[in-house]
Amino acid sequence: MAGGALAALAARVPSGPFVLGLPALLFLLVIFVGPVLRLLLLSIEGGSLGAYEKALTDGLYLQVFRDTFEIAAIVTVFCALLGYPVAFYLTTLSRTGSALGFACILIPLLTSVLVRTYAWMVILGRNGIVNRTLMDWGMTDRPLALLHNLPSVIIGMTHVLLPMFILPVYSVMVRVDRELLRAADGLGASGWQVFTRVYLPLTWPGVLAGATLVFIISLGFYITPALLGGGRIMMIANVIEHQVQSLLDWRFAGALSMVLLVATLAVQAISNRVQARRG
């Protein structure tokens, strides 16, 4: 019975798309799934779950996980507050203006994250543009400590991840029927009511997709917190790097990586469930 069911299912599935997608599938399995399985095996080497117990019970690492989620949430909020108006503004432009706006958003994506992070170090440094401007204008008599703290990390991560929020939101906004907004306005709704009861619910799928993307990427951020945080702001990726490079503890690094992976998958599952319920 089972063999007949599998044969019937195979007969219904077109072989052409499967054959065309097979090389990409194999590539993903080798490049992504292989290293993940390797880390999983390292984390349980010897049949012991001690590394997971340490990762989930040690107060130090629990605090790092908590800080990582808090930073990711803050960055997501800032990206939403900045990206939503920008995405809306792009929908109001002409074709030429929209193309120019997208160029301004997409060109930074072609620049290395490392380069953009170093640029913020130049801007926020003791002799950077911000401090020099404040001192020249007489607003302060000494350089401010704008680097190696949480605000600098938030600024750098928001700058890097902002396009990741704008693109999904714009793709939804551009499909919203403007006649619905005019109808709500014609029926006496205020501008705030039109936004909160008509426009925002219609664009919610893009907001949720963009927020989920930004939050998940933020959880694994390494370069920006390492440079702009100056070792004072620790995220879980920085701890994993320290375990590998300095302590050579691949087993514990693998356990931390698996915990982070499960947390990321949980966030994605929650987002999908929320999207499905609203849908």
118 pLDDT above the threshold of 70 = yes
Helix (H, G, I), strand (E, B) or coil at 144: coil
Dist CA 224 CA 136 (whole Å) = 29
Residues in contact with 120: Cβ distance below 8 Å, sequence separation at least 6, in sequence order: 152, 155, 156, 159, 228
CATH class for the region spanning 52-278: mainly alpha
53 pLDDT above the threshold of 80 = yes
21 pLDDT above the threshold of 90 = no
Q: What is the pLDDT of residue 153?
A: 94
Helix (H, G, I), strand (E, B) or coil at 25: helix
Q: Which of 160, 148, 74 is nearest to 117 (CA)?
A: 160
Q: Which of 121, 105, 230, 262 is nearest to 171 (CA)?
A: 105
Vertex 252: Cα angle to 247 and 253 (nearest 5): 75
Q: What is the pLDDT of residue 146?
A: 86
Please list, residue by residue across 195-223, b when 16 or more beta carbons sit within 10 angstroms of its beta carbon and e when fewer do.
Answer: beebbeeebbbbbbbbbbbbbbbbbbbeb
Read off the DSSP letter of residue 230.
T
Give the residue extent of every domain in the chain. 15-47, 52-278
217 pLDDT above the threshold of 60 = yes
pLDDT band at 2, cuts 50/70/90?
A: very low
